[in-house]
Every structure is written in structure tokens, then in C-alpha cells.
Structure 1
Amino acid sequence: MDTPGQPCVLLKHGEVFLKGRNRHRFTERLHDNLRVALRGVEGSTWIKPVQSVTVLGGDAPVEELVERARRVIGFTHVEPAIRIPSTLDEITHHAIAALRRLESESDRDEVRSFAVRTRRRDKRFPLNSSGVDRYVGARIKDALPQLTVSLKRPDVRLSIAVDRGETHLSWRRLPGLTGLPVGSSGRALVLLSGGYDSPVAAHHAMRRGLACDFVHFSGAPYANPSSVYKAYALARELNRYQPPGRLQVIALGKAQRQLSVAGAGRLQVVAQRRLMVRTASVLAARDGGEALVTGDSLGQVASQTLANLAAVDEAAALPVLRPLIGWDKQEIIDEARTIGTAGISVLPDEDCCQLLAPPRVSLRARLPELAAVEKRLDLDELVAALLEHTQVMTPGAEETAGEPA
């Protein structure tokens, strides 16, 4: 009985499990996103739903499957595992073999205690969950007397899921991204700058089920293209968490100068942000977007006071979502490091928001004053001109090219 179990990966569902009668729609979306994430993997793969768990397998390397699955939003845990026959002898044999391997591969001090935790989904199995725990635990103690049982803080937690026809045995649990499957809440357009904030906001929007496209406003022709390169790199990193969304780049420099010539003065930054959301609203609606997402954090900078945020919202034709509204800067930076965007955001660039910015920004921009500035321009014509020369690209699409798994 030396045949090893077949490697697979157990993916535990998060909020999808709570969706009642609509659960199947969320699960289908979750599996669709998983298939996209698996494109380009060397070797064949398969996906099998089992109640509130998805089993992922195939002849592709397990570690690569684990890495891809951990970037799919909607799974709470990712567990490398093996598939074995649903008999007590097979379960016991493979549990002992797994602990022996772990002992031999690690320092003795790392594996000194264990616990067995069983979930019996097949109610026809002769022992209930606690009965399997006791039986397998006792056989392990007989075979490996140097190990102790620790139910609260074991060095190794053997998880046994008994299903009809096969059992899954795992001993390593990795955190997933949780949240709702990307796309289950609709589509949004993220105003993506080159800083820390907007990429983190985009990631949190994705975790609430929003599929995200991106728009970046550059300072061209009065600024170099460094911010565009950063936006592309950030969108590419963010697209690793979702079926790739498009990045659209709009050169804002000439419009910013028109606002300045129109006498915006201390209102310049708020006026150009109003122009951004006005333009983004048209762009999003044209592409099926239902909301805008920004990286604003209340009071973080002068343009993000409550009055100024309200003034910006008034110009938007779609809801403006601000996932980071209550976050402080260090929390945002820490999260950027976690999701992999911090190393890009720290790179130098020429941010369009600094172009023509006044020495002092109004902390309480008033709508009548903003309207007076905007009346000196033909906003509809200005927005149409901005959209006419939009650059469109899909960062990361080349990495998921090919047939679905």
C-alpha cells in the first residue's frame, strides 16, 4: 500500500457560502475567474465543486496551482492536499505517511505534535467525524509514538474530508483573499494614479465583487510619460487578481492649462478633479461601468476635505466609491506592500495633479465659484476632445492568453 495519493488543491469558499438561493451564480462566477487565472499553466487542470469547497487538480505542478488559486478573490483558504480512497485503512495509511514525510523533511523540533480534524460529508461512512479523529489519531500514536496529540495548538493539523467515493487529506492551510467573486457586483472604472492609494482602492473594490477597468490621466504634453509607465505596471499587477481589465490613458495637460487660463486659481486642483470624474463618467458608461472608484482618504490632502470631495461628486454622473475613505496613509502603504503594488508606486514620476497646482489649494471649494470657472469653457467639447485621443491597452492580457483550463 505504498501508492501515493493524487495531488490536488482544496479551495474553501468564503462569502459565496452565505448567498442562499443565488449561491450557484456566485459559484459559477468564482469558477470562471479561477479558469481565467489558470490559463497558461503548464499541463491540464480540472475543477470539481464539492458543497462549499472547490477541488482543483490535474497534471500541472501543485505549487503553481496553489499560487494561481491564491490570487482568485473569493476563497478563504487554499490547501494543498491528496485524493485517496474513502476507507479507514487508506485514510490511516496516508495520514501516517504524511506525518513521516513532514518529520523527515523538517527539523525534529518543528513537528512534535499533531491533531486530526475530520469532516464527514458522506453520511454513509461507518464512523462519524469524531470517530475518525479518534481512530486515525490512535493509529498515528501507535506508529509514531514520539509525537504528542495537541488539540489546541498542534504543529501539524491533519484535515480529513470524507466524501462519497474519495477522501481529501491535507496538512497545510494557506490564507486566501476572501471577498466576493470579481464581477459578481458589476463593473467599475478606477481612476488610477501612480501613487499608493488608488491601486489599494482598486484591490478592495475587486474584493467586493467589482470587475475593474482603469483610467489614467497623464500630464501630457507638459509632462513626461513616466506616470503612464507606472499606471501600466500597476494595472498589470492588479489584473493578476481578476480577468484582465482595460487601461485607458487620457492626456489631461492641455485641459489643465485651459482651466488655469480660465482663472481657476486656488480651485485648480478641485476643478481638474471634477473634469476627471466628468470624463471618467462618460467613459465608464460607454463601456458598461456602473460606478467610479478613487483612492481618496478623508482629509489626507487638501483636495480631500469633505467639502472638496462633495464638490467633485457633484460633477460625476455615476456613483463615486471610495474604499479607503477612513484609512490613514500607513495603513494604505502596508496594504500596498501586501498586494504587490508598493514597489511600483514608490517609483518617481510626473503626476498630473501637481501640474499647474497653486501654492495653496482651497480647502472648501464652493460650487458657484467652480461653476463660474467652468462656464468659461465648453465642458462638453472639452470632454469629447479628451476622449477622442484615449489610448487603450489591456495590461497582463498576454499572461492569460490561450484556451481556458
Structure 2
Amino acid sequence: MDATADVVVVAAGRGTRAGEGLPKQYRPIGGRPLLRHTLERFLGQPGIRRVVTVIDPAHAELYAAATQGLSGAGGARLAAPVTGGATRQASVRAGLEALAEDPPELVLIHDAARPFVSARLVADALETAARHGAAVPVLRLVDTVKRWEADGFVVSGPDRDLLRSVQTPQSFRYALIREAHRALAGRDDLTDDAAVADAAGHRVASFTGDAANLKLTTPEDFVGAERVLARELRDLADVRSATGYDVHAFGEGDHVMLGGIAIPFGRGLAGHSDADVVLHALTDALLGTIGAEDIGFHFPPSKPEWKGAASDQFLRHAVDLVAAKGGRVAHLDATIVCEEPKIGPHRQAMRERIAGIAGLPVARVSVKATTSERLGFTGRREGIAALATATVRLPFTEDGE
């Protein structure tokens, strides 16, 4: 399907039923915020162009921390967050309006509290919306449904075979759902976007949902989510490590770039890009884990667009390639070899910057430094070298591809 498709992720609520503490979309599961898991699922889909998140402005710092370093393996990008409204309907409308300047043909609307959306659901959502204009994922009901009365008794309910539970992502032609939301802006009784489309006179098609596409609402749901992530981690049984090495000579300048940090110094490092030996070595190490050539293959110095380029995009590209194979970066380690400048005062800033680029907790990044005891070119203060090791987890396949 060639239609442009964007995603609106609704994350402006507080989720009080999840209990005390952070708003539920920022609570950790598997050591990372719930919202980050949700966004990563969409950013990793090749059919998605752009993802916009609707947030409460009071949560701006939580959002920034949760999304630090996020990028998309399929070319998707994370747009700036949008301020939500007093209701879910108002928040969705704000997200849709944020896309209006460069509108997509199709849009998916998804609850941030569903972090396990699958590639199959995304593909079916796009395909069904392209054919019918409006579509939702549905599941057959397992339990019998009864009508509850105020006296505490129940009476016979509707025919279960004619009912379905509805999930997100709900998918639409962008113009259709935007105009429906605009027309019904005063309504406060519409609980989802399918109801908005239906109230505006549009028929809503359905496609098969996914029982694993859980919505986290209660504390018990978060316990279940941890179990799901533990199972997913067990499925990433192919653990690989690879090394990288880079060196650059000193040249003119007033700072050196190391680990994504500009360190004031009396000289610079000579190179076609910003000559960040740490990020270059880490990039090669990651590329090595998936057999994806080396940094020169992906970003050849013969190409003028890489002259002076910031090396964070090289490392991010390698992380995206791992993600595109269904993998996850587990750990990054770098050792810097130089007589000067002093690395110690900048070590933590480097760790934080690398973690942000790679989308990792800082605890999964190590930066070390040593000298060469005045031996060799580093000992003669002619340049800086860096060695790196990357460890990733990939789905196991018989052929290793």
C-alpha cells in the first residue's frame, strides 16, 4: 500500500485506575516507560510516515525523558508532541489538526496504554481503512453479557454473537475523520473515534483484532505486561556481540567530538564527518552484530552530504537496522585511548548522550578511558582512538538471517 499514513497516539490522560504514582503512560514496564514501548512499535513499521503524540503539557518533562533518542527503523519520524484537551475526543482532534499542514492519506489513532500493537494489526488497519474509509480491530466476546440493574440483579442481555469488543489502532482516511471530529466537536458522549465516524454518518468496517494487544488500566495489568515482556525477551534468544574500532588524527579546531559531546580543546579531530571516534566505533560494532558491512559502506566519505555530518545519525542508523530485524540493543561499551584531553569529567555526559541516541537506559552504556603509556601515535598526542563492543538480542532463526 502506497498511501501516506501517520499515527496519532493519545497520551494526555492520567490513568487514575492504575493506582498511585506516575501517570500510567510514563510508568515503567520492562525498565522503560509504557509510552516508549508503544511509540517504538509504530516507529518500527515501514508503512508509517510520522507519529504525533498528544500529551498533557504538565507531563512535558516526563514525555521528553520517555522519548529521548527515539527514531524509526522504517523511516518514520517522531513529530513534536501536541497539547491535549479536556476529553479524549478533544485530544484526538488536536492531534489530527497537528497533521493538517502536511496531511496524510490515512491516519491511525491509538491509545498509549496499548504497548503491544503488532505489525499485523498495523498492516490490517491501513489496508482496511484504504478500502473502506473507517475501520476498527475487533474481538469476539468470550464471556456472556448480562444487563445489570440498579437493584443489583441481572437480566438477559444481548446476543453475544452479535457483539464485539473494540481495540485500537482505529484507522481512517484522514480527511474523513478530521471532518467528523470538527463537525462533532461539541459532543462529549462519543467514547472512541469509530463512534465519531458513525455519528457523522460513515460506516465503520472491522478487521480481526489481537488478544495480545492489551490495554493497561489496573495495577494487575502492569504485572501481566511484565510477563509479556519477559516472554518476548526469551524469544530474542540469538545473543550476538561484535567490536568496532576507529581513529582520527588531531587537526585544527577548538574542540573534539567524543561520544556525542563537544569537549573544549586546543585542537580538533580531522575527518570527513565530525570525526567522533567513539560514535564511529560503536556504529561499526552494532553493524557487525547483524553483518551489515561497516560505517564506510553506509556513509561513504566520498559523498559530500556526509562532510561535517554529526555522527549521532550514524549510530542511530545502526540501532534502527537492528530494530528492523526485530532485535534489541542490550549493551554498548566504548574505550577511548588518548593522552589528552581528560575524559573523566565528561564520561557521564557521554554515557547519557549515547544512551539517548540508542534509546537505552544509561545503565546499559559504558564509557572508559585509558592512555597508551606514551606509546604509538596516541602516546605522541597525534590523535585519538576508540574501541567498542556492542551486544544485541535478535530473534533466533536457523540460518542466522
Q: TM-score scaled by structure 1? A: 0.31
Higher relative strand content: 2
Higher relative helix content: 1
When Rg is computed on C-alpha atoms for both structures, the one with the higher figure is 1
Greater relative contact order (CA < 8 Å, ≥ 6 in sequence): 1
Q: TM-score scaled by structure 2? A: 0.31
